[in-house]
Amino acid sequence: MLKQRPPWLAVKIAAAIATAAFFDSVTAVECDVSALYVAAVIYAAWHGRLKYGVLCMALSIAVMSTICAIQGTPFSNRFYLYIHLLNVSLIMAALTFAVSWYRKTLDVAIRNSKTDPLTSIANRRTLMERIDLEIKRSKRTGSAFAFAYIDLDNFKTINDKQGHDAGDAVLVETADTINKLLRSTDLAARVGGDEFCVLVPDCSQSESSTIIHRLRKALETTMAQHDWPVTFSIGLVAYAEAPDTAEQVIADADRLMYAAKHGGKNNTVHNIE
């Protein structure tokens, strides 16, 4: 599926071509303004990828040909005009493919730097950035937020007895289940081999307890459907007053998660700060 582009992108591309056409029409025929059309194509390929780059290239060549037909050309023979247009077309085509490929590669690299490659949810880096933002927002507005640290009990058993493919399937299903139950403002992240975190903004302790309880039930249902002997130890901390650092948030929830684990596993331990 093609990624949707901003509705104003086509307008900007059209404006770029129109600007190039204006200067092309008001300057002497000896003055070559092909670079303006090329710039429009580069802009289209960068922001709209290959589809928009090719469309802009075609329109640019059509406009250049039309202006040449109306105003004449500096070439003594029309054959040379066609060679010139062909050269410009080849340059535009090469730049379109190169720029769109580079932008696509860059987008993939940025996305991979922010997400876990296996589960496609946020990674630790993205989580830390979001917690920092939430701390600043909480200190500014006085809003509460909650944070949960989830560890999969008996996950090693899955890897040892059923293999790492089964273990990966458990992690993917866990991430999918968490994501389905969260609000658009919440964030799920995988921070370790079998460890997940959930950031819940604008949430009191009672609300966070309800959310995590519902999440636990959904995870238990998912594990039962696949006959996986996995349970969940969860540490949940709700902040009425934001701490100073993201590291402290993770450490507080991690401590509660280990308390749940040491208390017999398959449990949620929560606290309010």
CB 37, CB 20: distance < 8 Å? yes
pLDDT above 90: residue 29: no
| Chain mean pLDDT for the chain | 91
Residue 272 vs residues 201, 240, 241: alpha-carbon distances, Å:
14, 7, 9
Q: Tell me which residues are annotated as active site.
A: 194
- Whole-number pLDDT of residue 198: 97
* Structural domains in the chain plus CATH codes: 9-112 (no CATH), 124-272 (3.30.70.270)
- Whole-number pLDDT of residue 28: 81
The whole-angstrom separation of Cα 195 and Cα 174 is: 10
pLDDT above 80: residue 107: yes
Q: SS in 3 state form for 115-167? A: ECCCCCCECHHHHHHHHHHHHHHHHHHCCCEEEEEEEEECHHHHHHHHCHHHH
Banded model confidence at residue 1, pLDDT cuts 50, 70, 90: very low
CB 189, CB 124: distance < 8 Å? yes
The 10s digit of each residue's pLDDT in 40-50 is 999 999 999 89
CB 96, CB 50: distance < 8 Å? yes
Banded model confidence at residue 237, pLDDT cuts 50, 70, 90: very high
Among 2-16, 78-92, 129-143, where is mean pLDDT lowest? Answer: 2-16
pLDDT above 50: residue 2: no
Average pLDDT of the segment spanning 120-146: 94
The 10s digit of each residue's pLDDT in 68-79 is 888 887 777 878
Beta-carbon contacts of residue 159 (< 8 Å; ≥ 6 apart): 166, 167
Average pLDDT of the segment spanning 227-247: 94
DSSP string covering 194-209: SEEEEEEES--HHHHH
- Whole-number pLDDT of residue 6: 64
Report the C-alpha dihedral over residues 265, 182, 172, 216, rounded to 10 degrees: 20
The 10s digit of each residue's pLDDT in 247-266 is 999 999 999 999 999 988 99
Among 28-37, 212-221, 254-263, where is mean pLDDT lowest? Answer: 28-37
- Whole-number pLDDT of residue 273: 58
| Beta pairing, strands 195-201 & 231-239 | unpaired
